[in-house]
Amino acid sequence: MQIHWLLLLVSWLNIQPDSKIYFTNPSFEDTPRESASPVGWQSSSAGSTPDILPGPWGVQHPPQEGKTCLGLVSREDGTTEDVAQALPGMLKANTCYTFTLYLSHAKRYAGYNLPIRLRIWGAAGRNGREQLLASSPLIDHEDWRVYKFQFVPSHDMRVITFEAYYGPGVFKPYKGNILVDNCSYIERCDRA
C-alpha cells in the first residue's frame, strides 16, 4: 500500500504545471515612440510616460535584445516613470522567486542624463506598489549588463511594477534615466 501512495505522489509531481511565470513582451518590443508603454505593459501612476527606444528624445542606444527597449526617467519634481504588468501566474506568499533582466544607462536622454536605479514592486491588484520586492544598484554604465533579482512576497501577488528611482541615499530629486530590456521568466528558488 505504501508503494502505491509513493507511486501516486511521484506521478502527481511529474504532471504539475510549469512553475515558471513568463512576462508578456519581456523585451519591450513595440514601435519606437515617446510617452508610450510597450504592448503588454502599462503605467501604474499618473504622469508616468515611459518611452520605447531607440529613436525618441535623441536616444540611439541599441537594445540588448530585439528591436526596442524600455526607457524610464526620474524628474526634478520628485516624479518618476514606471511600467506594470499583471502576470499570468500568482506569486505566492513566503515563496522565494528569482529572475534576471538587462539594465543600461543612456549618456544623453533629452537632459535626463544622470544615472538612476530600478525598483521592483509587487501587488495583489491594480495598485502596483504594495511591497518593494527588489532594487538594482545605481546604473551608471552604458553597456548592457544582466542583473539577477531574488525576492519573497509577503502575500500573494499578481502585479509587477518596474519603477525608475533616484540613487541610494539621495535626498534631492534629479533628472536621470535607466534603460531596461530582456526580462527572463520568474521562477522559484531556494531561500539563501
Domains assigned to the chain: 19-188 (2.60.120.260)
What pLDDT does residue 1 have?
Answer: 44
Q: Are 50 and 37 in contact (CB under 8 A)?
A: yes
What pLDDT does residue 192 have?
Answer: 56
- C-alpha span between 48 and 112 (Å, rounded): 14
What pLDDT does residue 9 have?
Answer: 38
- C-alpha span between 92 and 94 (Å, rounded): 7
What pLDDT does residue 86 have?
Answer: 95
Pick the closest to residue 175 from 77, 87, 107, 106 (CA basis). 77
Cell triple for 67: 528591436
- C-alpha distances (whole Å) from 168 to each of 5, 9, 63, 104, 119 are 53, 48, 26, 17, 11
Give the three-state DSSP class for 73: strand
pLDDT tens-digit map of 54-109:
999 999 999 999 999 999 999 999 999 999 999 999 999 999 999 999 999 999 99
Cell triple for 128: 502596483
Which residue in the block uniquely carries the three cell numbers 505593459?
A: 41
What pLDDT does residue 125 have?
Answer: 86
What pLDDT does residue 150 have?
Answer: 97
Max CA-CA distance within the chain? 72
- C-alpha span between 100 and 183 (Å, rounded): 6
Low-confidence ranges of the chain (pLDDT < 50): 1-16
Tell me the backbone φ, ψ of residue 2, rounded to 5 degrees. -65, -35
- Write the CB contacts of 41 (distance below 8 Å, at least 6 apart in sequence): 24, 25, 28, 50, 70, 83, 84, 85
